[in-house]
A and B are shown apart, each in its own frame.
Chain A
Amino acid sequence: QQQVRQSPQSLTVWEGETAILNCSYEDSTFNYFPWYQQFPGEGPALLISISSVSDKKEDGRFTIFFNKREKKLSLHITDSQPGDSATYFCAASVNTGNYKYVFGAGTRLKVIA
């Protein structure tokens, strides 16, 4: 059972456009949602995160929109740059102190100059 789903599997945008990456989950007890950026040959790097008490989290060009009722969230990357080309993973966890994450399958983003 895949608890965290991501779409699309891959996405190509032009430089300067907004990339929208989607994530949904099944377990209503999940209340913390980090997004990770992974470049080939590297470990995942924490990009931005949101807790379920918020519906929006912004950090520079990266914004998470969260819809608790629909169990959906999305990552918006505005003014996309070629350097943003990477795989983005949505994860979910329950803030009970055990820090266990469930990861989605990832979205591979390519930004064309």
Chain B
Amino acid sequence: SVLLYQKPNRDICQSGTSLKIQCVADSQVVSMFWYQQFQEQSLMLMATANEGSEATYESGFTKDKFPISRPNLTFSTLTVNNARPGDSSIYFCSSSGTGGNYEQYFGPGTRLTVL
């Protein structure tokens, strides 16, 4: 399995500001992802973080609003630009495993509240 760490674990920000969420894996992984989860709802895939290149975004998510970087095989950051109250949710990073299977492992999440 893969252990993922996220920082911060929670944040409160004002509307219009930007914040950055960091994700670190304890080993090199092929794929990293970012998910959004609203209170007591399902997980929605936001984007695939690609090493050394632009992230691949799912419908409804854009790079201008949620820029993602992945400089190496263990690290990724998600930025929330021009935060709005509707962005208040939990953001999870996840990664593929290291054994060539199709398992995904999730970080503990970052709970964001936008005032």
Question: Contact check: which of A43, A100, A102 meets B107 at CB < 8 Å?
Answer: A43
Instruction: Answer whether residue A98 sits at the interface, using C-beta atoms and an 8 A cutoff.
Output: yes
* Binary contact readout B84-115 vs A (1 if CB under 8 angstroms, 0 otherwise): 00000000100010000011111111000000
The reply to whether A49 and B45 form a contact with Cβ atoms under 8 Å apart is no
Size range of the interface on B? Answer: 20 to 34
The reply to whether B43 and A99 form a contact with Cβ atoms under 8 Å apart is no
Q: How far is the CA of A103 from the CA of B105 in the complex (A)?
A: 14
The reply to whether B104 and A34 form a contact with Cβ atoms under 8 Å apart is yes
The reply to whether A103 and B42 form a contact with Cβ atoms under 8 Å apart is yes
Instruction: Answer whether residue A95 sits at the interface, using C-beta atoms and an 8 A cutoff.
Output: yes
Q: How far is the CA of A89 from the CA of B106 in the complex (A)?
A: 13
* Binary contact readout B38-57 vs A (1 if CB under 8 angstroms, 0 otherwise): 00111111001000000000
Number of inter-chain CB pairs below 8 Å: 52
Give the one of B31, B44, B102, B104 with max A CB within 10 A: B102
Cβ < 8 Å to B, chain A residues 66-86: none
The reply to whether B92 and A95 form a contact with Cβ atoms under 8 Å apart is no
Q: How far is the CB of A57 from chain B (nearest CB, A)?
A: 13
The reply to whether A89 and B102 form a contact with Cβ atoms under 8 Å apart is no
The reply to whether B102 and A95 form a contact with Cβ atoms under 8 Å apart is yes
Instruction: Answer whether residue B75 sits at the interface, using C-beta atoms and an 8 A cutoff.
Output: no
What B residues does A34 contact at CB under 8 A? 102-104
* Binary contact readout A89-113 vs B (1 if CB under 8 angstroms, 0 otherwise): 1000101001111111110100000
Selected A-B contacts with CB under 8 Å, 23 pairs: A32-B102, A34-B102, A34-B103, A34-B104, A42-B108, A42-B109, A43-B4, A43-B106, A44-B92, A46-B105, A49-B103, A89-B42, A95-B102, A99-B30, A99-B96, A100-B33, A101-B43, A101-B104, A103-B42, A103-B43, A105-B42, A106-B41, A108-B40
